[in-house]
Amino acid sequence: MLPTEDTIVAVASPAGRAARGIVRVDGAATPAILRALTGEVPDERGVRRARLRLRGWEAHDLSMACLVLRARAGRSYTGGESAELILPGNPHLLRRIVDDALSVSTPERIVRGALPGEFTARAMLAGRMTSEQAEGVQALVSAGNAHEHALARSLLDGSTGDRYRAVADELAVLLALVESGIDFTDEEDVVPIAPAELCARLGKLDVEMVSLLGPGSRATVDESPVRMALVGAPNAGKSTLFNALLGRERAIVSEQAGTTRDVIAEALPRDPMMPHAPAIELLDLAGLDAGSASDGRAHGAAQLAARDAIGAADAIVWCDPSGQFDDAKVAHLVAERPAMVLRVRTKADLVAPQDTGEMLAVCALDGWRMDALHRALCDAATTVRGYSTPLAPGSLVSRHRAALQEAQRCVREAMELINPAREAHSIELVASSLRLALDRIGEIAGRIEPDDIIGRIFATFCIGK
Amino acid sequence: MLAGGDGGARAVLFWSAMSGVVREFDVVVVGGGHAGAEAAWACANIADAGAGLRVGLVTLDPEKIGAMSCNPAVGGLAKGQMVREVDALGGLMGLATDATGIMFKTLNATRGPAVRSPRAQCDRHAYAREVQRLLRSREAITIIGASVERICTEARGGRRVVRGVVLKSVDAAWDGVEVRARAVVLTTGTFMRGLMHRGDAQTEGGREGEGPARGISGALREMGFELGRLKTGTPPRLRRGSLDWDGLDEDGGEVAPTPFSEMTERGAFPVLEQVSCRVTRTTEAGHALIRENLHRAPMYTGQIESVGPRYCPSIEDKVVRFADRSSHHVFLEPESHESDWVYCNGIATSLPVDVQERLVHSMPGCERAEVVQWGYAVEYDMVRPHQIDATGMTKLVDGLFLAGQINGTSGYEEAAGQGVVAGVNAARWAMGEALVTLGREQAYIGVMMDDLVTKTPVEPYRMFTSRAEHRLILRADNAADRLTELGRAWGLVSDARWALLERRRAELERVDVLVESARCADGAWLRDAVRRPGYEAADLARDLALRPGVDVMWGVLETVHAERAYEGYIRRQHAEIRRHSSMERRAIPDGFDFARIEGLRSETKRNLSRFRPATIGQASRLEGVNPTDITVLLVAMQRSGAAG
């Protein structure tokens, strides 16, 4: 963790072009940065219009309208002096603003770029939010899709926390009942919980934890882009499709088959309609053919590189203008890969366009159905990353998931220990498992102390001779 | 933490120009109850181990040293483990109990070894006499019959440091004497501004027939200590001859009990003739009587405002809180061979005498009972324990230690455990050595000290096994394995006791090897059989053909069995301990300014500033301190260059 006295600055809007961009500043140098950027420092919190003047613009008498959202210490997200500048989402412009803000830094008053999550960490350190909510923010920022987005919101509004606490509470009640049978056996009034009832109530807890964890828990959060290779016979229109998807001329397109020799990789711009889909890296490959000696070594190398790229891709976009998808060379490569395959009928302007369940007909030249293709790619990427199985709230944040899984393991262990089929059971071991389960849940729901357990016993039974 | 002194001074009598007679000791222990006796005893052990300390034990009435104010029972669930720990640290409670017990019993005998606890009923008179005999046998200890009028302190290096106490005594040799010491241990029990209640009658005093200690409360308050007030109670005592003793159900002890002390010779144990108790019960008529007279109960008239223990409620409390019950058990426990007093376990009360009498007579077998001492409640001052460290030393005054009920605990065993900790550290302070603590993973005593310094007591603190997160490790059977080596390093453990531990270790190893290679009667490997539920240490003795006390040392099979039966769980508890160890013991610098930490909620700042935790572990257990607060605290420590 870097010093919290520093002023931090960062672009706070998603990367890439967007209608609006946000630069966030937090720390004591906030007023100085605002003065440098806009020539004025609003001292009231709230939104103000301002004119942005960047270094070097003076000569050209340039300025740009922007909004300044100012928050004073104690009332801001992070608890400190902070501001947000809202302006057109031009990445270059945003970078320039950050650079200008950084130039305000002095040895006494350091201004530096923010680390990922540092604004939220500051908010947490300032007591503006619980760690659970901070994790919600983090999950929200990195949510892979709309469903995860909703789950992240449930962390933020505390409804998931309520479920954790309900589990912890029931565990505490059960532990108190078990403990009463250990610490107060010499008390006539104490009736320890019957194994069958304990088992039944633990079973209910297990069900709730299963529901919190969900069936398809993400083992690890893979944030790397999903690699999608455009595959097809030479001259299948892959490069045209590639350029159309990127929205610029990246690959050389030619009527001459086999123009593309190298593997070209580019990030697919995010679909504004699917902001939480995983990032996608598109690979444009050489067309696959049987190859012949006359094509030369360069061609052979291109073929090898293409095959390697297919081997490493997460998904394959099989392009075929004929719509037959029976090219044996491609089919062979595709078949031996477990990767997801999308069939795209390219050059659909050449024939009567028709869509079937298995393929998507597009025309890259006039952009026909390109938006549908874009969305299909995002869906495929989401599926590849395993986000498609509905995630449960407890599985979203790895710390929560680990705590829940361990607690669940302990609860199941306790159930196994009191299994009526066993001849005898060690009640202190049952208690040990339940205590551990409670400690684990406590890491996300708030710790329940032995004193609380003892208090519950006193509240339930007449203790004391 | 280092003391200023250089240790080793002998008691000297000389005249001070200013204030008359001055006597000098290294450590002065104030109070001769179970905490005080144990503290003085620990100092004597350290003195004999070569430190040559002189200990003054100041008490109102030396004849009352070791008195059992309430039930003459030692041990019980979790408490029994603590007595074993006190013993493993060279303490005297186990020795005195073994020598004077008249009924021994293992509680939770049908449950696992971690939650079994030894309990003994002692002969009240013999017990006190034995404690006095043991203390008098120690050359290092001087017993002084006096009360403490003043606690003397002086400023040294910006700190307040204890200098000694000024006495008041009927003994002219001690009256008005200033007793100087580098360390003072206060163990005032229920005597600080003790006030006894019975109906609307109030009597000053800490125990039936004894006066209160008035001066100390004021002295502590003047020094800036925050005091609190607690309440506890005791039942009436009956004359055995007046009861239908033989007509009542018998509740007996064990035929072949296990002694508390490792040092007790099995052949001569138990020493005293064993007795059995009787069981009776309260009746619907008795409950009706209590309900009719609640307006005369000090607990309900507002006469007593302080809080009593929930686990030891008065009978009027039980009748009110558990109104659906028409009867409660009452155990009639003989108190001594030397008297015919019977303790009425189950009807602690501060109701007026006439109600007590009718209540007693409403119980079967007690219709004509003669009450020899009436029940009463006692209110007393305590020093809120957030003002001590886990070493027992106060944060306000260097060299001043508190132990026992003054810290808001209840029970002889809790007092004894604190007595050992305070005694060891008082001696170490006097010698200029670093103070020591026990961790929650090492001993129930450690759990207790940690609880005391991290929790605000709402009632007198009593130990329960469920307070110990490492209960499977903190067993009665392995107390010596856990603590005797530590006790040896601290100078508490005699050569004889140390030799026993060395022998025991060899035996544990030997039996463990045997278990590895033996099969039991049904042909299964013993190492597997030992994990079966229901397989006991006695089965191990049979399957290994080892007779405890003959072929193998007493107590060894119990430990081998427990360690094996719990093996996986113990491994997991050790893993948990390791997981938390780095944070647990990370020290927060002395005098760290919690109020100036940025980003902490004000409630958290208040709690941290009030408790002034010594470690991150302690901080994390404070009320209202959550993991985020700990992160903030760590960041603040790092910034101040103190994260170490």
Q: What are phi and psi of A96, to 5 degrees?
A: -60, -40
Give the model confidence (pLDDT) of B64-107 as tens digits: 999 998 889 999 999 999 999 999 999 999 999 999 999 999 99
d(CA B37, CA B92): 8
Q: How far is CA A159 from CA A165, A394, B419, in A?
A: 10, 11, 48
Domains in chain B (CATH in brackets) are 34-228+381-481 (3.50.50.60), 234-375 (2.40.30.260), 495-572 (1.10.10), 586-639 (1.10.150.570)
CA angle A13, A16, A20 (to 5 degrees): 45
Q: Is the pLDDT of residue A148 over 60?
A: no
CA–CA min distance A40, chain B (Å): 29
Tell which wins on pLDDT, A367 or B338.
B338
Contact A429 B112 (CB under 8 A): yes
d(CA B392, CA B381): 17
Residues 6+ apart with CB under 8 A from B517: none
- The pLDDT confidence band at residue A1, using thresholds 50, 70 and 90, is very low
d(CA A87, CA A49): 10
Residues 6+ apart with CB under 8 A from B218: none
Instruction: Put the strands of the sheet holding B117-122 in their side by side order.
Output: B73-75, B117-122, B101-107
- The pLDDT confidence band at residue B643, using thresholds 50, 70 and 90, is very low
Contacts of A131 in chain B (CB under 8 A): 626-628, 631
Q: What pLDDT does A64 receive?
A: 78
d(CA B42, CA B487): 10
d(CA A102, CA A361): 49
Q: Is the pLDDT of residue A132 over 80?
A: no
Q: Is A419 on the interface with B (CB under 8 A)?
A: no
Residues 6+ apart with CB under 8 A from A8: A25, A26, A27, A111, A112, A113, A114, A115, A118, A119, A122
Q: Is the pLDDT of residue B259 over 90?
A: yes
Of B108, B310, B533, the CB nearest to A185: B108
Q: Is the pLDDT of residue A333 over 80?
A: no
Continuous segment of H or E residues that includes residue B23: strand B20-24
- The pLDDT confidence band at residue B591, using thresholds 50, 70 and 90, is confident
Q: Is the pLDDT of residue B276 over 80?
A: yes
Q: Determine the residue of chain A that is closest to B566 in CA distance.
A: A429
The A residues from 162 to 191 touching B (CB cutoff 8 Å) are 179, 182-186, 188-189
Helices B556-565, B537-544: crossing angle, 10 deg rounding: 110
Strands A340-345 and A315-319: parallel
Strand partners, B280: B330
Q: What pLDDT does A220 receive?
A: 42
Mean of the per-residue pLDDT values of chain A: 76
d(CA B403, CA B449): 10
Q: What pLDDT does B431 receive?
A: 96
Q: Is the pLDDT of residue B196 over 90?
A: yes
CA–CA min distance B472, chain A (Å): 8
**Extended beta strands in A203-346, E state:** 226-232, 264-267, 280-284, 315-319, 340-345
Of A126, A450, A464, the CB nearest to B467: A450
d(CA B576, CA B560): 22
Contact A465 B322 (CB under 8 A): no
Of A188, A453, A464, the CB nearest to B312: A464
Contact A130 B628 (CB under 8 A): yes
* pTM, entire model: 0.74
d(CA B49, CA B434): 17
d(CA B317, CA B329): 15
Which of A375-379, B59-63, B202-206 holds the top average pLDDT? B59-63
Of B329, B451, B576, the CB nearest to A188: B329
Q: How far is CA B294 from CA A229, B459, B586, in A?
A: 86, 22, 51
Q: Determine the residue of chain A that is closest to B457 in CA distance.
A: A451
Q: Is A339 on the interface with B (CB under 8 A)?
A: no
Q: What pLDDT does B12 receive?
A: 39
CA–CA min distance A405, chain B (Å): 16
Q: Is A402 on the interface with B (CB under 8 A)?
A: no
Q: Is A462 on the interface with B (CB under 8 A)?
A: yes
Of B310, B312, B533, the CB nearest to A422: B533
Of A125, A182, A426, the CB nearest to B466: A182
CA–CA min distance B434, chain A (Å): 31
Tell which wins on pLDDT, A320 or B125.
B125
Residue with tokens 């609380």: A452
| Peptide bond connecting B118 to the previous residue in cis, omega within 30 degrees of 0 | no
> Which range among A142-146, A433-437, B495-499, B623-627 shows the weakest confidence by mean pLDDT?
A142-146
Contact B416, B82 (CB under 8 A): yes
Contact A454 B464 (CB under 8 A): yes
**Extended beta strands in B92-131, E state:** 101-107, 117-122
Give the model confidence (pLDDT) of A19-36 as tens digits: 677 888 998 899 899 998
Q: What pLDDT does A78 receive?
A: 73
Half-sphere exposure of B324 (CA within 13 A, CB side): 4
Contact B635 A1 (CB under 8 A): yes
End-to-end CA distance of chain A: 55
Can you tell me the ipTM of this complex?
0.83
Q: Determine the residue of chain A that is closest to B639 in CA distance.
A: A3
Mean pLDDT on B361-366: 97
Q: Determine the residue of chain B that is closest to A434 in CA distance.
A: B469
Contact B177, B184 (CB under 8 A): no
Contact B464 A124 (CB under 8 A): no
Contact A137, A120 (CB under 8 A): yes
Tell which wins on pLDDT, A359 or B239.
B239
Q: What pLDDT does B484 receive?
A: 98
CA–CA min distance A408, chain B (Å): 16
- The pLDDT confidence band at residue A128, using thresholds 50, 70 and 90, is low
Please state the length of chain A.
465
End-to-end CA distance of chain B: 16
Tell which wins on pLDDT, B347 or A76.
B347
Portion of chain A with pLDDT greater than 90, in percent: 8
Tell which wins on pLDDT, A440 or B363.
B363
Q: What pLDDT does B394 receive?
A: 97
Q: Is A420 on the interface with B (CB under 8 A)?
A: no
Instruction: Put the strands of the sheet holding B195-198 in their side by side order.
Output: B201-204, B195-198, B376-383, B227-234
> Which range among B30-34, B84-88, B494-498, B602-606 shows the weakest confidence by mean pLDDT?
B602-606
Mean pLDDT on A84-92: 80
CA–CA min distance B232, chain A (Å): 12
Query: How many cross-chain Cβ pairs, A to B, lie less than 8 Å apart?
Result: 129
How many helices and strands (H and E) does chain B possess? 20, 24
Contacts of A79 in chain B (CB under 8 A): 599
- The pLDDT confidence band at residue B137, using thresholds 50, 70 and 90, is very high
Q: Determine the residue of chain A that is closest to B117 in CA distance.
A: A183
> Which range among A254-258, B108-112, B414-418, B620-624 shows the weakest confidence by mean pLDDT?
A254-258
Dmax (CA) of chain A: 102
Which of A62-76, A382-396, B409-423 holds the top average pLDDT? B409-423
CA–CA min distance A440, chain B (Å): 11
- The pLDDT confidence band at residue A174, using thresholds 50, 70 and 90, is very high
Mean pLDDT on B589-618: 87
Give the model confidence (pLDDT) of B530-564 as tens digits: 988 889 999 999 999 999 999 999 999 999 999 99
Helices A131-141, A118-125: crossing angle, 10 deg rounding: 170
Q: What are phi and psi of B534, to 5 degrees?
A: 90, -15
Please state the length of chain B.
644
Mean pLDDT on B464-483: 95
CA–CA min distance B569, chain A (Å): 8
Q: Is the pLDDT of residue A260 over 70?
A: no
Mean pLDDT on B307-315: 80
CA dihedral B271, B275, B277, B278 (to 10 degrees): 180
Residues 6+ apart with CB under 8 A from B59: B30, B31, B32, B36, B65, B143, B144, B145, B146
CA–CA min distance B51, chain A (Å): 40
Q: What 8-state DSSP symbol labels residue B64? A: G
Contact A462 B639 (CB under 8 A): no
Of B111, B533, B621, the CB nearest to A182: B111
Contacts of A3 in chain B (CB under 8 A): 639
Residue A322 CB neighbours (<10 A): 14
Q: Determine the residue of chain B that is closest to A1 in CA distance.
A: B635
Amino acid (1-letter code) at residue A415: M
Indicate the SS3 state at residue B278: strand
Residue with tokens 């009597």: B203
- The pLDDT confidence band at residue B9, using thresholds 50, 70 and 90, is very low
Half-sphere exposure of A318 (CA within 13 A, CB side): 22
Q: Is the pLDDT of residue B568 over 50?
A: yes
